[in-house]
Amino acid sequence: MMAPWKGGGVMLPSGFKHWLLIQAAFLLVAAASAIPHTSAQGDHVAVLSIQGIINPVAASYVDRALGDAETDGATAAVIEMDTPGGLDSSMRDIIQRIIASKIPVIVYVYPQGARDGSAGVYITYAAHIAAMAPNTNIGSAHPVALGDNGSEQQLSSTMAEKITNDAVAYIRGLAQTRGRNADWAEKAVRESVNVTAQEALDLKVIDLVSDNLDSLLDQVDGREVQLSSGKVTVRTRGLPVERLGMDAVERLFHTIGDPTIAYILMSLGTLGLIFELTNPGAILPGVVGGICLVFALMGLGTLPLNIAGVLLIGFAFLLFVVDIFAPTHGILTGGGVISFTMGSLMLVNTRNAPFLAISTSAIVAVSLGLTLFFGFVVGAIVRSRRRRPVTGQEGMVGKVGKVKSALDPGGLVFVDGALWKAISESGSIAEGELVDVVSMRGLTLVVAPHLVQKQLRS
């Protein structure tokens, strides 16, 4: 039964209070994301940032930010990029938006140490101007085919060749449009080759190498580029810079697209639902668990999942639940931990996409946490089942009482704060003697002389 919560002169259930708090949090996030976009009007340079996996959230962000830059009168947009790659559909959405842009788009692989892999290579080739910072690299653009369930497909040699040829034709077309090295682009797709920033410049894969953003804006100033609307001259030197980052909602959904984050959310969400199932009425764990699970499914939905890993994790949580309701002294929990760990290692197919791998330390930490949690729960259940009952008829057996009226064989005894009818099967017992309750017959106690007294008399 839920405890009432007093607030504002009315009595509200504690679960309703939790619901209100969660709703308030979501309203705050929604309000933050709904704040009108304010930016500098007039000549300026808009700077976007793509960090991490290229997914639908990243594509939506680029579309919105470029639209804002065009509306606010930016003379050019710079996309700072550090990505291991991502989804083909999201990559194509970004490329189409760049091609349709009303202002020059400069893709800048930055900061130093950044990489521009897989889908990022195509986006760089689509840019009106392509630049890289020193100590960065570009390449490894071989396509990976995913099935309807997100798992990597094992294609026939003919189908794999068709997909590769399509990717080659696509990137060669971008290279020819922007006047870049089409032969190297084909090698990046077919052979997954990689080159450094300086090598990319020498091979005419990119247009320039620049140490930082200020240097980049000076170097590209005055260049002529071809937009969909015609040729324009880039004007960037000395102009103010406005950074157009992701808003709160975009950051949230882009974050949960990270394999490790999605994996942790999935684990927390499932734990919350299990806690709610085993403690009906708790409400908050169920609500939070449900939200975490929805976010996890959204993130995992963009990843190349291995169906065997999904089934092993699902089977693990089934074992955990069964062991709670029908304890097997930890046998099912042990099997669940093994199944969960194996499923976690197999969850994302990373053979051709190692950047999608779930952090090993996260897998170890979550598996250890599950072991400790369910080990504690199962241990508590086992201990409770071994404990002698303390209520009902079973709870009266073994208690010590005092005779209030002589038992011969029936009489009255005072036990546990109450007066009971009792009978003695061990002969008469005088008033004032202590007795042990040995059993019950309905509401009548069956007693015997107290063991301590018998030992003293002997």
Q: Which residue has the tokens 């290579």?
A: 121
* Pairing relationship of beta strands 224-227 and 230-233 according to DSSP bridges: antiparallel
Residue 276 vs residues 12, 137, 286: alpha-carbon distances, Å: 20, 48, 5
**Residue 105 corresponds to which tokens in the numbers above?**
């788009």
The DSSP symbol for 429 reads B
Give me the phi and psi of 326, to 5 degrees please: -135, 75
Q: What does the pLDDT read at residue 302?
A: 65
CA–CA dist 122, 267 (Å, integer) = 35
- The DSSP output letter for 356 is G
Q: Which CATH class is domain 42-248?
A: alpha beta
Whole-angstrom CA distances from 244 to 53, 166, 354, 376, 446 are 18, 33, 30, 48, 83
Q: How far apart are CA 52 and CA 255, in angstroms?
A: 9
Q: Please report the pLDDT score of residue 179 as a whole number.
A: 95
Pairing mode, if any, of strands 105-109 and 129-132? parallel
> Which amino acid would we find at residue 408?
D
**What pLDDT is stored for residue 351 in this prediction?**
58
Is the distance from CB of 98 to CB of 120 less than 8 angstroms? no
H or E segment at 157? helix 157-178
Question: DSSP 3-state assignment of 382?
Answer: helix
Give the CATH fold of the 392-457 domain. Answer: OB fold (Dihydrolipoamide Acetyltransferase, E2P) (2.40.50)
Dihedral of alpha carbons 387, 392, 393, 399, sign: positive
* C-beta neighbour count of 275 within 10 angstroms: 18
Q: Which of 344, 193, 365 is nearest to 262 (CA)?
A: 344
The H or E element spanning position 284 is: helix 284-300
Q: Give the model's pLDDT for residue 454.
A: 56
Contact 69, 241 (CB under 8 A): no
For the annotated catalytic residues, the residue numbers are 118, 162
Round to whole Å and give the CA distance between 103 and 284. 49
C-beta separation of 254 from 61 below 8 A: yes
Q: What is the pLDDT of residue 188?
A: 94
Tell me if 74 sits within 8 A of 104, measured CB to CB: no
Per-position b or e across 437-453, b if 16+ CB within 10 A of its CB: beebeeeebbbbbbeee
CA 58 to chain centre: 17
Q: What is the pLDDT of residue 40?
A: 54
Q: What is the pTM of this model?
A: 0.64
Domain range list for the chain: 42-248, 257-386, 392-457
Tell me which residues of the chain have a pLDDT lower than 50.
Answer: 1-38, 146-152, 456, 458
Would you state the structure tokens that stand for residue 37, as one six-digit string?
């976009």
pLDDT digits (tens, 9 = 90+) for 134-153: 999 999 887 765 444 444 45
Q: Which class for 108: exposed (0-12), middle (13-18), buried (19 or more C-beta within 10 A)? A: buried
b/e sequence 399-416, b meaning 16+ C-beta within 10 Å: eebebbebbeeebbbebe
Q: Map residue 435 onto helix, strand or coil.
A: strand
Residue pair 48/78 in contact by the 8 Å Cβ criterion: yes
Please answer whether residues 126 and 98 qualify as being in contact, where contact means their C-beta atoms are separated by less than 8 angstroms: yes
Q: Structure tokens of 324?
A: 């709670």
Q: What DSSP element (H or E) covers 334?
A: helix 331-346
